[in-house]
Amino acid sequence: MSKQYIQVSRITVTFKKSIAIAAGVLITLFSNEADAQVPETFIPSSVNSELIVKTRTSVNDDAITLQLSENIESLADCLNEKFKISCNEDQNCTILAPAHQFLMEISPSIGAEKATLSCNIEYAAVTHSLRLPHGFMLTLTKPMDTMDDTKVMFNLMRNRKLLISDVVDSSLLKEYIGSVIHKLG
């Protein structure tokens, strides 16, 4: 764990103001004139919000149960605030999303353990890293960074070593992952 310097960061003050744009219609705008500066104090943080599959996960049309390795805020940010996330004290969280936003399911059978994951490709804002059993890590990257929305970047790593890196048509992703798993035995 990196050494952390905890200091009092600069105080930034924002003023928000509700403004009527029509009779009975209020919007809130923020003052852009407060004297804010780039904070001087940083803390190290995880590069990726990682989702760790707890056990065999139960999946229905609109819910997944996952155990999180990161704080909820960063996860929510990772998932682009499209999902409703609720967690209990053990950090077992349920992520809800409209069923149609789940464009695929991955069912890898790596080793003795099995896990079923769902991942939203269409709205993923950043790289999703999914930690699989036995040191495998799967990352899927949003098409926002490509010219073609149908493409998704697929990376499979094990113990930080890149095994496979490819660009895959999202409609073929499930089939592609199936072939990868088959090759891995």
- What is the contact surface with other proteins in residues (CB under 8 A)? 2-7, 9-10, 12-14, 17-19, 21-34, 36-47, 73, 98, 101, 123, 126, 144-145, 147-150, 160
Closer by beta carbon to other proteins, 4 or else 88: 4
CA distance 42 to 28: 30
Q: 125 or 181, CB closer to other proteins?
A: 125
Hunting for tokens 């149960």 — which residue is that? 65
Q: Minimum CB separation from other proteins for residue 152, in Å?
A: 15
Q: Which residues of 30-41 are buried (b: 16+ CB within 10 A; e: fewer)?
A: eeeeeeeeeeee
Quick one: CA torsion of 54, 52, 116, 75, rounded to 10 degrees? Answer: 120
137 token code pair: 């890590």
- The least CB distance from residue 4 to other proteins, in Å, is 8
**Nearest residue (CB) to other proteins, 74 versus 116:** 74
Q: How far is the CB of 178 from other proteins (least distance, A)?
A: 26
User: How near is the Cβ of 56 to other proteins at its closest, in Å?
Assistant: 30
Q: Is the Cβ–Cβ distance between 36 and 11 less than 8 Å?
A: no
Ramachandran area for residue 74 (φ above 0: left; ψ -120 to 50: alpha; else beta): alpha
Closer residue to other proteins, CB minimum distance, 37 or 88: 37
